[in-house]
Amino acid sequence: MRASLFRTLLGIAAGLVLAATPSHAQEDEEGSRFAVKGRGLAPCSALVDAYRDETPDRFLFAGWLNGYLTALQQTDPETFDLAPWQSTDFLVRYTLRYCGKNPDRPFFAAAATLATALREHRLTEPSDLILIRAEGRQGRYYQETLRQVEERLNALGLAQVDVDGTFTRESYNALKAFQRRHELEVTGLPDLPTLLKLFAPEPAAAD
């Protein structure tokens, strides 16, 4: 117990030391220069090591990533939520894939790549949270996300439901049909595995 607490405190202390180090200038693809602080300066290999070894550092990376996305949302008038349904675990694992291929790049570069990928399904305006109960489970989802789900289900020919984000019984049944088709757990909820499959790009048609 004491050893575990010591490792946790050591990881936090290391994060504070890194956060106190001078900022390093970075330049994005548009040539804008800016300072990066804290965990954003760490090499991608440090993220990979932290998750491989399950050290407390992984929580510091996850916290930095959430803070980075929040800052982008605050400063971009065309964005309300970059990750309206993606979990923190999913976001970190996306950056892990990037970092596994680019171990010498700064963690900031992985975060910036993630932010770019998230823009396609971001929310541009505030949206109410809707509580959905199904199969003994429940979850809260943005009404706009539910509207996009209904729109996608209609486009796939699984139903012809009103695209308004109210998620009626028809929407629920259509989503279950989609889950069965793709051998997903049939929950009737727009959970993370279902949304990832639902919004995945269509495979290119063979010539």
Summarised one tens digit per residue, pLDDT across range 189-199 is 999 999 999 98
The Cβ of residue 138 has, within 10 Å, a number of other Cβ atoms equal to 10
Average confidence (pLDDT) over 77-88:
96
Average confidence (pLDDT) over 159-171:
89
What DSSP element (H or E) covers 204? none
CATH topology of domain 129-198: Muramoyl-pentapeptide Carboxypeptidase; domain 1 (1.10.101)
pLDDT over 80 (residue 17): no
Specify the pTM.
Answer: 0.77
Give residue 48's pLDDT. Answer: 97
> Residue 56 corresponds to which tokens in the numbers above?
């407390």
Q: Please check whether residue 161 is in contact with residue 150, taking contact to mean a CB–CB distance below 8 angstroms.
A: yes
Tell me the CB-side half-sphere exposure of residue 34, using CA atoms within 13 A: 10
> Residue 202 corresponds to which tokens in the numbers above?
């269509």
Q: Between these two residues, 167 and 10, which has the higher pLDDT value?
A: 167
Helix spans in 119-168 (H) = 143-155
Among the listed ranges 69-73, 123-127, 132-136, which one has the minimum average pLDDT value?
A: 132-136
pLDDT band at residue 107 under the 50/70/90 scheme: very high
Residue ranges per domain, the chain? 7-121, 129-198
